[in-house]
């Protein structure tokens, strides 16, 4: 069996997720307010057991919406990249809002699972996994995006802990999250070696936030820290080792960004095939036009190639093999660039109707752009790949 072959059990789980997304999550997402946090959607995913799948050993389902989806997870602090990819691709084909909400819970909560104290894990993860608490990952700053080691948010010692002063921006789920994983500068002039990670409850004195209005409406905003107190038990990992906490989290999630992109590409491809098979033009179905047929073939081939790269990278991550950094970078790079191409091509097949507000492809066209930037832009992924070639 090759590294990227999915088992029957995995394929059955993916079908379960797609069905739940279409029948239960999509209506909740449609009823939400664009750009605002949809707590009902997050809670529904918690009740289905989807969020708990991100946090091995943490129980998160409730019987209020029926039995959670089946899961078999070991008691450990290491999440499965393959599981994450299955979830994100399956959700993205039916409901990008649900996919994004799940991914953000994982990004915000996984550093706590990975590096938090037992007390922090007990305090936050059951609620995050149940969808009762909303988490956020606060790394990016106005002058520290792709160069994450250039963080300037200061953490100054203050008796029982530290005081955080500065700003974060482009933070998903801000300012509505309940807890933030925050990365702050504890040693000046030390680059990546001088950053420490903390959990910061949203109701902490001195913490303020504002929404940002984006091309594709998402719950995202800025955070301002005005001497926000944090305590020793809220530190994730060790002092000045927070950059490693961030990178281990992003290493896990990077292939799954590709899975999100594959899910969007598949949704666009399916829509294009349906339209080309039913739309009559020049005396027959559009799909009989060679230019259209060949375009669909190219879209399908690139989507499948992206899918194989994504699951190969996820399997390599889970196996702990060598070369995972390059594999993950290739997966994210190729899948996100492919999704941009496939969605654009699907719009071309549909024509003007795909540009009408509310059309699936109009939605995907706005959604597909951001993954080429966040969690390492395409240019950063190429740098990682080239660096690994010369290592």
Residues forming the active site: 375
CB atoms within 10 A of CB 113: 25
Interior angle at CA 296, CA 290 and CA 297, nearest 5: 85
Q: Pick from 47, 49, 25, 43: which is nearest to 97 by CA?
A: 25
Strand partners, 167: 224
Q: How far is CA 1 from CA 4, 315, 344, in A?
A: 8, 12, 34
In sequence order, the 6+-apart residues with CB closer than 8 A to the CB of 264 are 92, 93, 96, 339, 342, 343, 364, 367, 368
Q: For strands 135-138 and 179-185, give the pairing.
A: parallel
- What tokens were used for 307? 């899918």
CB 140 within 8 A of CB 170: yes
Please state, in angstroms and rounded to a whole number, the distance separating the CA atoms of residues 388 and 333. Answer: 15
In sequence order, the 6+-apart residues with CB closer than 8 A to the CB of 147 are none
Please state, in angstroms and rounded to a whole number, the distance separating the CA atoms of residues 151 and 165. Answer: 12
The residue to which tokens 């289905």 are assigned: 48
Please state, in angstroms and rounded to a whole number, the distance separating the CA atoms of residues 64 and 85. Answer: 27
- Length of the chain, in residues: 391
- What tokens were used for 127? 């609620």
- What tokens were used for 38? 């949809």
């Amino acid at each position: 069996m090759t590294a990227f072959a999915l088992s029957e059990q995995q394929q059955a789980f993916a079908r379960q997720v797609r069905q739940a997304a279409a029948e239960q999550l999509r209506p909740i997402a449609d009823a939400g307010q664009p750009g605002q946090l949809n707590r009902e959607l997050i809670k529904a995913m918690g009740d289905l057991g989807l969020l708990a799948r991100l946090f091995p050993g943490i129980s998160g389902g409730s019987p209020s919406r029926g039995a959670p989806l089946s899961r078999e997870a070991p008691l450990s602090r290491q999440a499965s990249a393959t599981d994450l990819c299955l979830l994100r691709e399956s959700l993205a084909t039916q409901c990008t809002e649900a996919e994004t909400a799940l991914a953000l819970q994982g990004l915000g909560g996984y550093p706590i699972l990975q590096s938090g104290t037992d007390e922090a894990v007990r305090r936050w993860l059951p609620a995050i996994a149940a969808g009762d608490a909303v988490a956020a990952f606060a790394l990016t700053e106005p002058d520290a995006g792709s160069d994450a080691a250039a963080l300037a948010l200061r953490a100054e010692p203050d008796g029982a802990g530290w005081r955080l002063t500065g700003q974060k921006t482009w933070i998903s789920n801000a300012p509505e999250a309940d807890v933030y994983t925050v990365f702050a500068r504890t040693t000046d002039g030390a680059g990546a070696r001088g950053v420490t990670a903390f959990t910061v409850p949203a109701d902490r004195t001195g913490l303020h936030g504002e929404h940002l209005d984006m091309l594709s409406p998402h719950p995202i905003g800025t955070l301002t820290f005005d001497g926000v107190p944090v305590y020793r038990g809220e530190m994730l990992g060790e002092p000045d080792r927070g950059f490693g906490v961030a990178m281990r989290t992003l290493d896990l999630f990077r292939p799954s960004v590709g899975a999100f992109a594959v899910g969007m590409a598949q949704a666009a491809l399916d829509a294009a095939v349906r339209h080309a098979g039913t739309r009559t033009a020049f005396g027959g179905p559009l799909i009989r036009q060679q230019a259209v047929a060949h375009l669909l073939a190219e879209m399908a081939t690139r989507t499948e190639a992206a899918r194989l790269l994504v699951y190969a990278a996820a399997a390599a991550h889970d196996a702990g093999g060598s070369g995972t950094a390059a594999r993950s970078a290739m997966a994210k790079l190729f899948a996100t660039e492919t999704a941009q191409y496939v969605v654009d091509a699907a719009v071309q097949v549909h024509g003007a109707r795909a540009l009408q507000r509310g059309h699936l492809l109009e939605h995907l066209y706005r959604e597909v752009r951001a993954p080429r930037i966040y969690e390492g832009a395409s240019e950063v992924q190429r740098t990682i790949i080239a660096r690994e070639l010369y290592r």
